[in-house]
Amino acid sequence: MRSSFSISVLYHAYVYLEFLILACTIYILAPCDVMYENQRLQEENESLRELLEKAYEFMKQFVIDGVNLLEKFLESVGKVMERLR
C-alpha cells in the first residue's frame, strides 16, 4: 500500500512540475511575441506615415480657387469631426 501511495505522490509531483515548466516557458516567451508584434506594428505605422506624407505632398500640388487640395481636404475633415462631436 505504501508504494502505491508513493507512486501517486510522485505522479502528481511530476504533473505539477510539467505544468510549472510550461507556465514558465509561456511567461518567458510571451513578451518576445508581444515585442515582435509591437516592432512589426511600429514599422507598419512608419510605412503608412511615409505614404501619407507623400499623399499630402502630392495634394499640395493642386490648387482650387487659390487653396491647395490638401488644405481643402483638411478643412473638410475638420468639418466632419466637428459634426461627430
Q: Tell me, what's the pLDDT at 3?
A: 59
Angle between helices 2-60 and 69-84 (to 10 degrees): 130
C-alpha to C-alpha distances, 68 to 2, 25, 62, 75, nearest whole angstrom: 89, 56, 5, 11
**Three cell numbers written together for 30:** 510571451
Give the tens place of pLDDT for each residue, 28-81: 777 777 788 889 999 999 999 999 999 989 988 988 888 888 888 888 888 888
Q: Is 71 exposed, middle or buried (0-12, 13-18, 19+ CB in 10 A)?
A: middle
Which has more pLDDT, 12 or 38?
38
Q: What is the pTM of this model?
A: 0.53
